[in-house]
Amino acid sequence: MSEVKIPSWMLPVFAGVVPAAIAFGSMQAMSQATDEELKRVTVVVEKVAEETDDNTKKTALNEQAIQQIADGLSRQVEISQATDEKLGTLIELMLKERR
């Protein structure tokens, strides 16, 4: 068998290359994991934005419906007051005619 001989001055170079290669691989893995997490977070943020938009629209429609109901009740109160006044007047007239 042949022996592989490495000059002694190359030992520090190999000693530096191995940790550098490990660090590089580790950084690549972290970068890939960060990219995947960023994609996941982006999808979640977009979904939340859509739901917020839907909720905003629903809230606006609810406010509009509540305002219409309040306006309708206000008109009913006005009609009721006018009816009460007319009915009161009619009762007074009927009482005057009976006397």
Is residue 84 assigned to a domain?
yes
Domain count, the chain: 1
Is residue 3 assigned to a domain?
no
Give the model confidence (pLDDT) of 72-91 as tens digits. 999 999 999 999 999 999 99
DSSP letters for the chain: -PPP---GGGHHHHHHHHHHHHHHHHHHHHHHHHHHHHHHHHHHHHHHHHHHHHHHHHHHHHHHHHHHHHHHHHHHHHHHHHHHHHHHHHHHHHHHHH-
Predicted structure pTM score: 0.49
Q: How confident is the model at residue 8 (pLDDT cuts 50, 70, 90)?
A: confident
| Structural domain that includes position 30 | 9-98
Alpha carbons 72 and 99: distance in angstroms, whole number: 41
Q: Average pLDDT, stretch 46-63?
A: 92
Alpha carbons 78 and 72: distance in angstroms, whole number: 10
Is residue 47 assigned to a domain?
yes
Is residue 49 assigned to a domain?
yes
